[in-house]
Structure 1
Amino acid sequence: MSAPSVLALNGKHFAPYAVHDGNSRGRRHPETPPRHRSQFQRDRDRIIHSTAFRRLEYKTQVFVNHEGDLFRTRLTHSLEVAQIARAIARILGLNEDLTEAIALAHDLGHTPFGHAGQDALNRCMADYGGFEHNLQSLRVVDQLEAHYAEFDGLNLMFETREGILKHCPEAVALTLGDVGLRFLQGRQPGLEAQLTNLADEIAYNNHDVDDGLRSGLITVEQLMTVTLFRDAFLQVREQYPQLSQKRTRHEVIRRMINRLVSDLVDNSQTRLQEVAPDSPEAVSRHPGPLIGFSARIQAHNLELKRFLRQHLYHHYRVKRMTTKATRVLTMLFEAYMADPTLLPDEHARKAHRLAAESGDTGRARAIADYLAGMTDRFAIAEHGRLFDPNTLS
C-alpha cells in the first residue's frame, strides 16, 4: 500500500486529510500564536495544567477510588487512550498533538463514580436540561476552567473542542454554535476525533478486562467465551505454558489491544486509500466515518463489550457500589437545590447568579457543575459533612 503524500509543517509531516495549524478554524478568542510549539501543543498543555485534569486522578473508571491503588482511574484511562491514539495517528499521518489533546480532554466532564454518577446526575437534572458527561467536558474547557485573564475556559482550538464532543442531540446542538453545526448538517468530525473515539473504546474495554480479572469479579473461564480473549489466551498458553497468572494476564491484554489496533490501522488505511480525501473538509463531507474496524473485528469487539456489561458492570458488587454512589449524588443535589447556602461561597454565588438568569434551571446547572467537578472521595466526604450527625465540620 502506498503511503499518502504528506505536508511538512513546523518540522512535522501531515497527510493531506490531517488537521494542522495552517488549516485549523482557530480559537473562539484570538490569541498570538505560540512561538516554539504548535497551536495543538498549546491545547494539550492547557488541558494537562487544568484543574479538571488533575481531579481525574481521584475519579472512578469502574471501581470507586478508595477500593484499591492499582485500579484504573479516569486519569490513568485518559493517559492510556492518549498513548494508543497518538501511536495510530503517527502511522496514519494525522496530527498527533491534536489527537493527544482530544484524548486527554475527553473525560474532563465526567462525574465522580463513573457512569453511575452520570446516570444519577442526569436523573436529577431531568427537569433542567439533563446531564451528559461529553457535553460537560466541552462546558469545562469552554466555560468552567478559570485560569486566564482574557477569557473563561481554556480557549481551545475548534478541532480540539469538536473532538471532545462525540455526540449531541439536535436540540442541544442548536445552542452550541460552531461545534454544534456538524450534528445539524450530518457531517463527520475530523479523523483525529474519529480515531480518538475508537482508541477510547480499545482502552476501556481491554483495561476493564484487566481490572475485572485482578478484582476477581470476572474469571478466565468466563472470558473464554469471548473470541478476542480466547484467541489471545490460547496463544499465550501455547507459547509460554509455565507463565505465572499475573504475566499471563498482561500478555493476553497486550495481544488483545494489538489485534484491535492493527485491524483499526489496516482497515482505516484501506478506507483512506479508497476515498482519498484531500483535506479535512473532504473528511467532514464524507457520508460516514473513515476510521474504523473491519466487520469481523467490530463484531468481536461488540462481543467483548456485551460480556463486560453483563458480567462486570452488572456484577452485584459493582451494583452495590453504584447504588451507594447514586444515593450520595442524589442526596447532595437535593440538599443543594433546597438550600443553596449549603454550597461553598463561590458556588453559592454562582447558583444565585444563574438562578437570577434562568430560575431553577440555572440553579440546577450551577449545582450540577459543582457535583460533576467532585472527586469520588470528596463527594463521599461532603455527603458525610451534610448527613452524618457525627461529622460537624
Structure 2
Amino acid sequence: MRPYPDCETATVVDLFSGGGGMSCGFARTAGFSIVGAVDLERGKPSAGSTGCNGTYRANIGVEPYRADLALLEPSELREVVFGTCGIDLAPGRLDVLSACPPCTDFSRAKPANHLVDGRRNDLVGRVGDFVAYFRPRHLVMENAREFLLGAFRHHSDRLTERLRALGYGVATEVPTLTAYGLPQLRERALLVASRVAEPMTPADLWIGYEPAQAATTVRSALGRLAAARASMPADAMDRSPAMGAEVRARLGAVPRDGGSWTDLVRTKPELLTPGMAAKAAADLLNHHPDAYGRMAWSRPAPTIMRESSHLGNGRYAHPEMDRLLTVREMAALQGFPFDYRFLGALKNSYRQIGDAVPPIVSFQIAACIRWMESGIRPGPETFVLPDSTLRIGDVRHAVPAAA
C-alpha cells in the first residue's frame, strides 16, 4: 500500500458502519487503518436503536460518529476525523471509502419493494456526494442483489455513471457467497471502484480456485467453532433467546436435520399456530416454509437476516438441539472471527449479525485493494480470514468444467 507522510497505513472510512462487518476485513489486514466511521444506529422505526456503534467500537477500536448520512456533510466528517485522530482527509487523501447503505428497501424479502422505491434508497446518491468530496483512491460497497439487478437499480446505475464521470473504473458482481467460502447461501451485490487501478472483486481472487464444498456446510462451520471455543474463555455470546413451553414443544416436534413447520401438518397438527393451520388448510405450505425450520448439517446455512432472533422468521434453529442458534453460532455462519464481540441487547446482536457484511468476504475485498495497489496477486494464505470457519486448506485448485 502507498502510505501518506502523516499516516503509517492506508486510511479507511466506513459509512453505514453497522456492527463492523466491512471494517473487520480491513482492520484485520496489514496495511490498513480505520480512521472514521458513521452510523445512525437506526433500525426499523418499530425496532428502536440497533446499538451497533458499541459493537463497532469494541472490535474495531474506533468510535463511530452517530449521524444521519442523508444530512451529514462530507466536510463535517472530515472535521470529525481530524479531531479524533489528527489526520486531515483533504480531497484525494483518503485511500478507501466503504459505503454500504441499508438494503431493506432494495431487498426482495420485502414485498413492497416490487412497487415502492423507498426513501432509504436515495442514500446511494449520497455515497456519490462523499466520493466527489473526498476523492478516495477506492470505493467498496455491498448490498442486496437487487441493488444491481432489481426494480430500482437506477440508483446504482446513476451512481456508476457519476463515478465514471469522476474518473473511476467500476466493477460489479452478484455472487452467492458460498463460492467465496462462506457457509451460507447468501446472494449479494458487490461494487468496487478505483481511480488509480483496474478495479477487482473477490471473483478475480478466486479465478483458478474454489472452496471445498464440505467446508461451507453447517456441520463444518459449527464443528470448527466448537473446537476453537474449547480453548477460549467462557463466551457471553453463547446464548440464544429463551422459549416458552409451547414454543419448545413445537420446535421439539420438528424433525432433526432440516425439518420445518410444514412437517407438523402431517405429524403433530395440534402444535401448529393458528397462522400455520390456516396456511395448511388453504394448501399454502410453500408460504414461509422455513419458519420454525432447522438448519441441515450437510448444507450451507440459509440467508441470515436481521430478524434471525425468532424461530418464526426463518430456518434458524439448531439442526438437532431444541433451540435457536446462539449469537456466536450465527456470527460464525455469517463469517465473523470467533473472537468477535457483540454488545447490547440480545435481539440487537442478531440484528447486527444479519445486517453485516460477512468479514470472510470483506477480508477478501481488502485483499483485492492490496492487489490493486501492489500489482501482486494475493494467494489463499493472504485472503483467508484467520480464526473463522474458512481455512487455507479449504481453498483448492478449481476443477476445469467439462467441455
Q: TM-score, normalised to structure 1's length?
A: 0.30
Query: Which of the pair is proportionally richer in helix?
Result: 1
TM-score of the two chains, using structure 2 as the length reference = 0.30
